[in-house]
């Protein structure tokens, strides 16, 4: 199964805020126009990013802004903010291996460290990439359009 589009939408939102904050108010409607999804989807993601301390959202007057230096917001921060999986586990382990079977009894002990190392490899790479990298490339590609 794939990682929810909430993640790529969240990154898209950061790129929009940085690109347009001087000229526009970054409302959920504005962002929804760029991402091309329902504004409520945007607002839910904004809430998750806000709760993670990555952005601020102005209630009443409206508009989102980024709460931290761009190079201090990693993909891992964003991923953890928007992924709803309670446990934080990348792999879904089958629930009830038989404890009457020697393999069933031990499969969790055998696999857990291996699954962790895979998840860690993914998260380490996610921690290496920041919103600053995204902004840099966004500016580059927009400049190439001119």
Partner DNA sequence: AATCGTTGTAACAAAATGAATTACAACAAA
Partner DNA sequence: TTTGTTGTAATTCATTTTGTTACAACGATT
Q: Which does 22 bind (CB under 5 to 8 A by kind): its own copies, DNA, none?
A: none
Q: CA 3 to CA 18: how far, in whole Å?
A: 24
Is residue 101 near DNA by the rule CB under 7 A?
A: no
Pairing of strands 55-57, 64-66: antiparallel
Residue from the set 20, 21, 34, 44 that interacts with DNA by CB under 7 A: 44
Q: Each residue of 5-40: b (16+ CB within 10 Å) or e?
A: ebbebbbbbbbbbbbeeeeeebbbebbbeebeeeee
Q: CA 98 to CA 106: how far, in whole Å?
A: 10
Yes or no: say if 9 and 83 are a contact pair by the CB < 8 Å rule.
Answer: no
For its own copies, give the closer residue by CB, 23 or 59.
23
Which residues between 112 and 141 bind its own copies (CB under 8 A)?
Answer: 114-115, 117-118, 120-122, 124-126, 129, 133-134, 137-138, 141
Yes or no: say if 17 and 49 are a contact pair by the CB < 8 Å rule.
Answer: no
Is residue 87 near DNA by the rule CB under 7 A?
A: no
**What residues does 57 pair with on adjacent strands?**
64
Is residue 41 near DNA by the rule CB under 7 A?
A: yes
For its own copies, give the closer residue by CB, 57 or 107.
107
Binding site for its own copies (CB under 8 A): 1-5, 7-9, 11-12, 15-16, 19-20, 33-37, 75, 85, 89-98, 100-107, 109-111, 114-115, 117-118, 120-122, 124-126, 129, 133-134, 137-138, 141-142, 145
């Amino acid at each position: 199964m794939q990682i929810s589009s909430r993640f790529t939408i969240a990154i898209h939102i950061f790129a929009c805020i940085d690109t347009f904050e001087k000229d526009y108010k970054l409302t959920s409607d504005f962002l929804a126009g760029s991402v091309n999804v329902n504004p409520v989807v945007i607002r839910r993601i904004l809430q998750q990013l806000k709760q993670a301390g990555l952005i601020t959202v102005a209630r009443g007057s409206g508009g989102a802004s980024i709460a931290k230096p761009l190079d201090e917001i990693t993909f891992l921060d964003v991923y953890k903010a928007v992924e709803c999986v309670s446990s934080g586990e990348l792999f879904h382990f089958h629930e009830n291996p038989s404890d009457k079977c020697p393999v069933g009894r031990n499969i969790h002990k055998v696999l857990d460290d291996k699954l962790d190392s895979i998840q860690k490899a993914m998260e380490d790479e996610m921690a290496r990439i920041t919103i600053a990298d995204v902004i840099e490339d966004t500016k580059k590609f927009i400049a190439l359009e001119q």
